[in-house]
Amino acid sequence: MDITVEKAIDTCRNVEKLLNTQLAANNVSHSQVEDTLVKICAAATTALFHDFESAIAQRAEDRIWDSHLKVNTYYRAALEKVNSRLYWLRFKEDC
């Protein structure tokens, strides 16, 4: 495996850990998440372009999609909380 691919995959792993930490903190900003996703995508793309077969074996593309799925899940849960609070506010007004 190319040394560039190894570094890129290591970067992906480290940035994925950062993303997990950010999302667990529950007070992450949109710009922080966006910056982290850009870093994951850049590292995975670097790995894919340098040695496609090795990058696929190291799940480079999956790492991109897994990260996006984590963020989508986080924001869906946050949106659900907002929607449920709005529902109860409307319900209280009707009573």
pLDDT in tens, 5-53: 899 999 999 999 999 999 998 788 889 999 999 999 999 999 999 999 9
| 92 domain residue, yes or no | no
Distance CA 36, CA 20 (A): 10
Total domain count for the chain? 1
| 89 domain residue, yes or no | no
pLDDT in tens, 20-31: 999 998 788 889
Residue 88 clears pLDDT 70, i.e. is over it: no
The pLDDT of residue 94: 64
pLDDT (mean) for 56-68: 93
Give the helix ranges, DSSP H, for the chain.
3-25, 30-50, 52-57, 60-94
Distance CA 7, CA 13 (A): 10
| Residue numbers of the domain that contains 19 | 3-70
Contact 23, 70 (CB under 8 A): yes
| 78 domain residue, yes or no | no
| 95 domain residue, yes or no | no
Of 25-34, 49-58, 82-91, the one with minimum mean pLDDT is: 82-91
